[in-house]
Structure 1
Amino acid sequence: MTDTLRFVVYTAILTWVALLAASLIRARGWTFAGMTLAIGNRDKMPEPSPLAGRAMRASQNTLEGFVLFAAVALAAHAAGVDGPRVAMGAQIYFWARVVYLPVYYAGIVFLRTLVWGVGIVGLAIMVSAML
């Protein structure tokens, strides 16, 4: 497996963790009532707390970004241009997402946008390596 594909797998796992965390934070899944709510149909979810709202938005952004990242990485792999620049862009993207989630959860607005931008730079590096 190439380094780029390895980071696709890592990012898929990170995306799943972000979605799971958002769900558990929203339902308060660490409590008995929250666990009951989480395994049910979720018809009557409570209003999200500020942290739950940020976790939900961060997970949605992570999912949306993963779609773009995976498409670029898989296109590079299929085209046979999965070289060091593509792998470096993939690493930058992944590590930016690792930092992005806790920064977003903490509500640090300007830093969140800066870290998101670093991830976009990683994607741009990947794309530029293919052109």
Structure 2
Amino acid sequence: MSVELTYLVYTIALFFVVVMAQATTGILNNGALAMANSRDNLKPPTVMQARMKRLTDNFRENLWFFVPLVLIAAVSGISNQWTVLGAQIFFFSRLLHAAWYAFGWPIVRPLFWFAGVIACGLIFLALFGILT
């Protein structure tokens, strides 16, 4: 498996952790039975529950940029220092973004998000042979 695909697997594993953290905050706020049912009459979300929902949504939205780029690179047989660097930056930026978001630490979080955007840009440019 290529380095890029390995980081894709790491990223999906991290996303799974984020989704489980979101589910846990829902269970803690509403109880497992309420979360297992229709969820029509749930309590208002706690601050942490709302934050984890936003984190999960943000992570999911960013996967739509990263996943196709890595898969296109793999199918096309394109792997170089830029695609590897892009995959690495994306994973670590999402890891740090998730931590900063979950703990509610201010200001720096958007920089981690932007690093993920740059990472996708590196892979995109490598796919078109601009970065070789």
Same fold (TM over 0.5): yes
Q: 1:124 aligns with which of 117, 121, 127?
A: 121
> Which stretches of structure 1, 4 residues or more, deviate above 6 A after TM superposition?
none
Give 1:22's aligned residue: 22
Structure 1, unaligned stretches of length 5 or more? none
1:124, distance to aligned residue in structure 2 (A): 1.0
Q: 2:34 aligns with which of 26, 30, 37?
A: 37
Mapping of residues 108-123 of structure 1, within 5 Å: 108-123=105-120
TM-score, structure 1 length as denominator?
A: 0.89
Q: 2:44 aligns with which of 47, 52, 60?
A: 47
Q: Distance in 2 between matches of 1:58 and 1:113?
A: 12
Of 42-51 and 90-99, the range deviating more from structure 2:
42-51
Q: Distance in 1 between matches of 2:90 and 2:69?
A: 11
Q: Distance in 1 between matches of 2:107 and 2:37?
A: 37
Q: What is the CA deviation profile of residues 43-95 of structure 1, one whole-angstrom value per residue up to 9, with x for unaligned ones?
A: 32211111111110001111111121110100111111122210110010000
CA RMSD of aligned residues (A): 1.6
1:36, distance to aligned residue in structure 2 (A): 2.5
Give 1:4's aligned residue: 4
Q: How many residues align?
A: 128
Give 1:68's aligned residue: 65
TM-score, structure 2 length as denominator?
A: 0.88
Alignment of 1:94 with 2:91, yes or no, is yes
1:119, distance to aligned residue in structure 2 (A): 1.0
Q: 1:78 aligns with which of 72, 75, 80?
A: 75
Question: Is the Cα contact below 8 Å between 1:24 and 1:38 reproduced in 2?
Answer: no
2:78 aligns to what SS in structure 1? Answer: coil
**Percent of residue pairs identical:** 26
Structure 2, unaligned stretches of length 5 or more? none
